[in-house]
Structure 1
């Protein structure tokens, strides 16, 4: 099978899986077998593309021409390949976790949940493999719409209100800012194709800066303040959905879009020479610090993790805005290292809810003795998010600091250091309470009470990944180096 066919199979597999899940909906065991099988075959197919793409192949598939030379086109390059490999691989782990969580909590509409999840993965792969801005925009919107049923899964009035905030803000920003940015780019450059070095040569600094603002705030999935409110609102969703939003597809589609636009539409060198991205360095830095400060005030565990995600996403935006080789490498690596750490943290939050029905940080005193495995994994993931060795996040933060130094942005260096200190305060407080505080009156649980085994298996895999990615970071680094950054 040639590379173009493999790419097409990878795109269609989630939809085939969604159809299979629908047909098997009345038989839970078969339904979940179809989900896991589809996820496994998809990951195998996507990873089959990795060696040739890293060796220089750029398979391209034009589906249909719409008008005036604009076409729905797919093309695989290293950054898109990384996003696709991450999303397809984590779908397996998230599906394993979902089996334990959905059954353990007796969730309703499980078939609808698995179908919507498969369609969301399809949309994420469409974003990853997009060969031009038009294709990326279409699949970006499909991803927004397909995740709405997941966010509104519980169906109560409060959940539906929050889901409408999620949908409304993402659609408003994409239609009001991202779409005009796409049109403006086409008028300016005469093409929407992703091109190494960019397509906006000759555009003035002011126009570049305004256009970059339309992309940055129009891509609200990246979580830049003040267009971040959809993310805390989405915390009403079941924990596997939160993991999808924060680690697997949605927010990663946002920061992936910004990084890809900086590299292949603006061009890193063009931005660096114009200085048009300087404001984005300040906005990303402000988001990093402010979101961390807000996270410190949140007693609800998922809300605290949500604002942590807002902060961590801006690390990636900051890396792109620095417009240096090390900044791009750090941003690319952080897509992966943050995914491993944050999906573990959300898995742990869901495990705590499933086993003990606790949602507040203030309720976790002494709980580590009841759920030692879960809180050990939480600690590993927290240390990775903080950026301490020997955990994966240390490498991405290291290259982000190098990128800031290369750009002469000492403020950005200070922000990265301050953020790590704030991470320590609001993340490590949780395992410290769980392991070293006495349980609250009435919470003296006897013995170990962990979440169901499938959930624990998923937590074990992702927490181990936080370690493996530190000691085996060289392949990820070499992958990131393939991106054009100057």
Structure 2
């Protein structure tokens, strides 16, 4: 098998180098900043296309150097990492376009876009981590690169949210570090392996359960599992592009991706089920799903409602992998991508409402579909997807999760999915109805003049693109090259088929 060590580094460098240069640019260097942002995003996608072609033809993409005695720093592109890296790259491009338009007249743009690029770099590095220690390095780097984005506005509310975010995520990092050290002491290795490197070793099951708990709690902070979720709604004080990035690409997805790696490539799904740790994790995910949906019902602030929706929706990923069946795994991993496109659409639309009309509250959405029809159409598609209405892609995720639960005799999961969908409908459908069918107010809270346009094109294009993708992947889910097609390949690998 041919090995290429440099392409993973180039994928990292395509966002790292532009980010470092952007830090040095003056605020007036708008053209340079846009060129570096968009150029880096497009280059990353091109490199990933080359990498996917290479993987298809049997090329092994791995970069390895010694990190500490006995453990290497490893970047490795496998099927699972490419799923997450491609999600990050495509949504980074969409969010970059959106952020350029959103922050057009804002201060400290070079600082913002510098950290923005570092955030994507650490997310991609985390996705390509070839062992648990490399994952931990990027996991902590992600915390440090996203904190300045959370507190970007510099208000006291933003600083308070940033302190909460740091307290939670650094605690998660400590737990993950403790579990990593303990696991290395037990096994002598931390290398990710299909079906897990822990299985087959003669180790005390009670000790392994404790290690598993530490690792899951460590990544569970970023995955917003109850009761480790409280930082997420507070982080909504950040600008809309940051909220979109945190919820759809970076932090919460990094946590969910960590859960996937620990279950499949550290313990192995069959061995984890034998240890008896998957069912409690599935129950915790189910509790989080219902809790987040119930809390979303009572949020008047639109972004906070979407934040609690994220608490609920991201746990579908954890639920899918913890059910311990190949069909449920397909649903959970597909939702990693599907939720990303739906949720980023919702946050783009919320940002458009705020930036164009000064609308921040649920009660202010009356008649907004008549003033901003294209934005509201995108919002409607994404909301229907979150509920699970076909043919939007959220239906595909829930369908496979339900079938997977029945496959392994976990019928109770179907009731959780049904209850969650009803709650999703309860907190999304009133917004859609008010937006389209109620009369608009005489004046909006703070309307900006875009002439005859609905809003700036750089604010409108990204949600239209992501909403269209969410709809297309639902309509053509079984076609080759879709996220569903790719995760079916991953599931076969993880279950040894």
1:39 to 37, 41, 45: 41
Determine if contact 1:281/1:322 at 8 Å carries over to the other structure: yes
Deviation at 1:172, TM superposition (A): 1.2
Deviation at 1:206, TM superposition (A): 3.3
Instruction: Indicate the larger mover: 317-326 or 128-137.
Output: 317-326
Find the aligned partners of 2:195 and 2:130 in 1 and give their Cα distance: 15
Instruction: Indicate the larger mover: 237-246 or 327-336.
Output: 327-336
Instruction: Indicate the larger mover: 383-392 or 286-295.
Output: 383-392
Q: For residue 107 of structure 2, give the secondary structure of its aligned residue in structure 1.
A: coil
Deviation at 1:431, TM superposition (A): 1.6
Determine if contact 1:22/1:115 at 8 Å carries over to the other structure: yes
Give the 5 Å matches for 1:210-359. Answer: 210-219=210-219, 220-359=221-360
Deviation at 1:399, TM superposition (A): 1.2
What's 1:161 paired with? Answer: 160
Could you report, residue by residue, the CA deviation over 1:277-330 in whole angstroms, capped at 9, with x for unpaired residues?
211111110000011000000010000000000001110011111111112111
Matched, 1:138 2:137: yes
Instruction: Indicate the larger mover: 353-362 or 178-187.
Output: 178-187
What's 1:74 paired with? Answer: 75
Find the aligned partners of 1:265 and 1:54 in 2 and give their Cα distance: 24
What's 1:123 paired with? Answer: 122
Determine if contact 1:287/1:314 at 8 Å carries over to the other structure: yes
Determine if contact 1:6/1:49 at 8 Å carries over to the other structure: yes
Find the aligned partners of 1:250 and 1:17 in 2 and give their Cα distance: 21
Q: For residue 113 of structure 1, give the secondary structure of its aligned residue in structure 2.
A: helix
Q: For residue 396 of structure 1, give the secondary structure of its aligned residue in structure 2.
A: helix
Q: For residue 432 of structure 1, give the secondary structure of its aligned residue in structure 2.
A: helix
Determine if contact 1:355/1:449 at 8 Å carries over to the other structure: no
Aligned length: 482
Deviation at 1:54, TM superposition (A): 4.2
Determine if contact 1:196/1:267 at 8 Å carries over to the other structure: yes
- Aligned pair in 2 of structure 1 residues 88, 199: CA closer, same or farther (>3 Å)? same
Give the 5 Å matches for 1:199-210. Answer: 199-201=197-199, 202-210=202-210
Find the aligned partners of 1:438 and 1:215 in 2 and give their Cα distance: 51
Deviation at 1:250, TM superposition (A): 1.4
Deviation at 1:79, TM superposition (A): 0.7
TM-score by length of 1: 0.95
Instruction: Indicate the larger mover: 213-222 or 252-261.
Output: 213-222
1:485 to 467, 486, 494: 494
Superposition RMSD on alpha carbons, in Å? 1.8
Determine if contact 1:331/1:400 at 8 Å carries over to the other structure: yes
Give the 5 Å matches for 1:447-466. Answer: 450-466=454-470
Deviation at 1:28, TM superposition (A): 1.0
Determine if contact 1:232/1:303 at 8 Å carries over to the other structure: yes
Deviation at 1:384, TM superposition (A): 1.3
Q: For residue 434 of structure 2, give the secondary structure of its aligned residue in structure 1.
A: helix
TM-score by length of 2: 0.93
Which runs of no fewer than 5 residues in structure 1 stay unpaired? none
Find the aligned partners of 2:55 and 2:456 in 1 and give their Cα distance: 39
Q: For residue 287 of structure 1, give the secondary structure of its aligned residue in structure 2.
A: helix
Give the 5 Å matches for 1:289-438. Answer: 289-438=290-439
Which runs of no fewer than 5 residues in structure 2 stay unpaired? none
- Aligned pair in 2 of structure 1 residues 381, 109: CA closer, same or farther (>3 Å)? same
Deviation at 1:441, TM superposition (A): 5.4
Find the aligned partners of 1:443 and 1:15 in 2 and give their Cα distance: 41
Find the aligned partners of 1:28 and 1:73 in 2 and give their Cα distance: 36
Matched, 1:189 2:193: no
